[in-house]
Structure 1
Amino acid sequence: MPSPHEEREVVKKLDEINHAVSELRSRLNELNQQKEVWFEKKEAVSSQIRELISRVKTNRSQRNALTDKVRQAKTERERLHAVIKGKAGTVKTLNEQKQGLLKKHDAPGNPAYIRDEIDRLEHYLETNVISFEKEKELMKKINALKKRFAESSENAALWAQIGGASRELSSLRRETEKAHRDVQQHAQESQKLHESVVLDSREIDRLREEEKGYYQKFMEFKKQFTEASAQLKERLQEMDRMHRQLDSFRAARRKSKEQKEADLIGGKVREIEAKIRRGEKLTTEDLLAFQTQKNN
């Protein structure tokens, strides 16, 4: 049976372990809180990084699409420039032909304008009362205009060609201006998106460094938490062993006490039996001892 000193040592050791367990649990709670704080900071930054990466991908895709549009608009603009150059040459040639005809016919003028002037003068003669001299003067002017109109009629087709070519040239120039505006607009939008991609990429790099720092702090506290958990587990196992040892000591002491009591009662019973054999009178103590032995 263990000595009282041994039992006291176990109780003392158990108290020390209980104190250590309490401190370890308090430390674990503190470490877990710190660990979670750094983990939440790391996760918040990770979420920002994911959002920025998604935005960079979207903006980069839109930027590339706009860059393609710029390339297409430039190609169209160059094509239109080439067409305009050819059409401008055609208009120049037609105007040179027109000037040649005008010189040839002593500047007969625009047939449409001459026709309008003839109609105006004839209408004036028909609707107004004028002197004979005035009428002769107007008729002479009308006849001269009719002669000029006849001379300039051959210019009608040329005028039509010049008008058509000029309209086409104006239309082409408007298309070229639109293509140029498209180039500028798409280029500006593409540049803005490119700048956004660059800025976001820099921010991602900065946040990744921040995330790395938070993760390192999280891992530091996680390591300490794991070590403290292992220490607590070891202490709890030691506590369990101490409890079992203490229970064993107490059981042995209880068994020893019961054995001593049984031995004492057994000796008393033998004395009573001897008294009975000798015919001696039994005392109250003798009767109680005998009854106790009988109950056991």
Structure 2
Amino acid sequence: MQESQKQGLTTDKDNLFREISRLKKQLTHFNEKKEFWFKKKEDLKGDIKKQIQQIKEIKLKTDESNISVVDMKKERDKYNDEVSRLIKEITKLNLQKREIFEKYKITEDPYKVQKHIEDIEKKLETETSFENEKKLMKRLNALKSIYRESKIKELIEHIDKLNKQLKESRKKANEFHKKIIATAVDTNGYATFIDLSRKINDLRTEQENAFSKFIEYKKEFLKVNDLLKNLLKQSNEVSTKLNEVKHKEAQRKEESIRQIIRQKTQNVLEKFKKKKKLTTEDIIILQGQQK
């Protein structure tokens, strides 16, 4: 009965050992999968956070750019208004200039007339002929009279000054207009916003799938872990029972040996009492008994 029980327990222990080894491999496999999908989920979480931060930055940049564009439009409109004002004023002055030209019968460019005056003045400095000097003075006085009466020089200088202002205002208006266009192009984050939103949705779907996989493998891990704990408990119980059986078997063997030794000792003592010849074995038994 004891031997049969021992064999049964040994078989159970071997079977449990094999099953425990198999479950440990499964547990390692499911744990690796579980950790892989958990890391995947966390990595995707980080990616989503980065994409959301980009959207926030785009929104902030767009808001700031909108304010900047509004300011630049005000500046552009200011210079455009200045251009319109200057054009009207220059047109009015050009009309006055044309009327003066007609009134004083000025056919030459006023700047050429001014050049003639300067040339005559130089000639007068070197002219020796009285008649020529008189003619030059007459011509000089006539030209100067036209300039004084018509005030054409001041008018033309004023028109030139306004033309320079007009050119500068147009330049400024164009510069602000180009900046507005450039800002609108640079900060047109709508397409980027849509693209990032789509990416975030895709990442969230992927994250949900990763989380589902993590939960799936976690459940399998816990299931196998519970089975393994149960089998380890069974294995410990079987090992305990097997050790008890082996211990009892060892005790029985020891008791059997002691019984044999006691019997042999008794036989040797009987021989000794009867003064029979003792063998070497008999002597060894007696010595062992004395010890």
Fold in common (TM above 0.5): yes
Q: Is 2:187 the partner of 1:158?
A: no
Identify the residue that residue 291 of structure 1 maps to in structure 2: 287
Query: How do 1:172-191 and structure 2 match up within 5 A?
Result: 172-191=169-188
How far, CA to CA, are the matches of 1:33 and 1:150 in structure 2?
103
How far, CA to CA, are the matches of 1:145 and 1:226 in structure 2?
113
How far did 1:20 drift? 0.4
Q: Number of aligned pairs?
A: 290
Q: Is 2:70 the partner of 1:71?
A: yes
Amino acid corresponding to residue 146 of structure 2 in structure 1? R
How far, CA to CA, are the matches of 1:59 and 1:290 in structure 2?
105
TM-score with structure 2 setting the length: 0.81
Could you tell me which of 231, 237, 261 is aligned with 1:235?
231
Could you tell me which of 242, 245, 259 is aligned with 1:263?
259
Query: How do 1:99-110 and structure 2 match up within 5 A?
Result: 99-107=98-106
How far, CA to CA, are the matches of 1:142 and 1:164 in structure 2?
27
Report the 3-state secondary structure (helix = DSSP H, G, I; strand = E; otherwise coil) of the residue aligned with 1:254: helix
How far did 1:129 drift? 12
TM-score with structure 1 setting the length: 0.80
Identify the residue that residue 199 of structure 1 maps to in structure 2: 195
Could you tell me which of 246, 269, 276 is aligned with 1:250?
246
How far, CA to CA, are the matches of 2:274 and 2:148 in structure 1?
184
Deviates more, 1:47-56 or 1:193-202: 47-56
Contact 1:21-1:232 at 8 Å conserved across structures? yes
Amino acid corresponding to residue 23 of structure 2 in structure 1? L
Question: CA offsets, 1:54-89, max 9 Å, x none?
Answer: 444444443433333222211211222233333334
Query: How do 1:1-296 and structure 2 match up within 5 A?
Result: 3-39=2-38, 41-42=40-41, 45-107=44-106, 111-120=110-119, 144-152=142-150, 154-191=151-188, 193-295=189-291
Contact 1:38-1:215 at 8 Å conserved across structures? yes
How far did 1:253 drift? 0.8
Contact 1:108-1:151 at 8 Å conserved across structures? no
How far, CA to CA, are the matches of 2:102 and 2:152 in structure 1?
12
Contact 1:269-1:293 at 8 Å conserved across structures? yes
Cα RMSD, aligned residues only: 3.3
How far did 1:102 drift? 4.2
How far, CA to CA, are the matches of 1:240 and 1:199 in structure 2?
60
Contact 2:127-2:133 at 8 Å conserved across structures? no
Amino acid corresponding to residue 287 of structure 2 in structure 1? Q
Q: 1:260 to 1:177 in 2, by over 3 A?
A: same
Amino acid corresponding to residue 114 of structure 1 in structure 2? V
Amino acid corresponding to residue 185 of structure 2 in structure 1? Q
How far did 1:121 drift? 5.5
How far did 1:31 drift? 2.3
Contact 2:55-2:193 at 8 Å conserved across structures? yes
Contact 1:31-1:221 at 8 Å conserved across structures? yes
Question: CA offsets, 1:165-193, max 9 Å, x none?
Answer: 222222111110111011001111111x4
Contact 1:269-1:290 at 8 Å conserved across structures? yes
Contact 2:90-2:163 at 8 Å conserved across structures? yes
Amino acid corresponding to residue 174 of structure 1 in structure 2? K
Amino acid corresponding to residue 215 of structure 1 in structure 2? F
Contact 1:102-1:109 at 8 Å conserved across structures? no
Question: CA offsets, 1:78-112, max 9 Å, x none?
Answer: 22223333333433443444445445545587654
Contact 2:79-2:169 at 8 Å conserved across structures? yes
How far, CA to CA, are the matches of 1:67 and 1:150 in structure 2?
55
Q: Which runs of 5+ in 2 are unaligned?
A: none
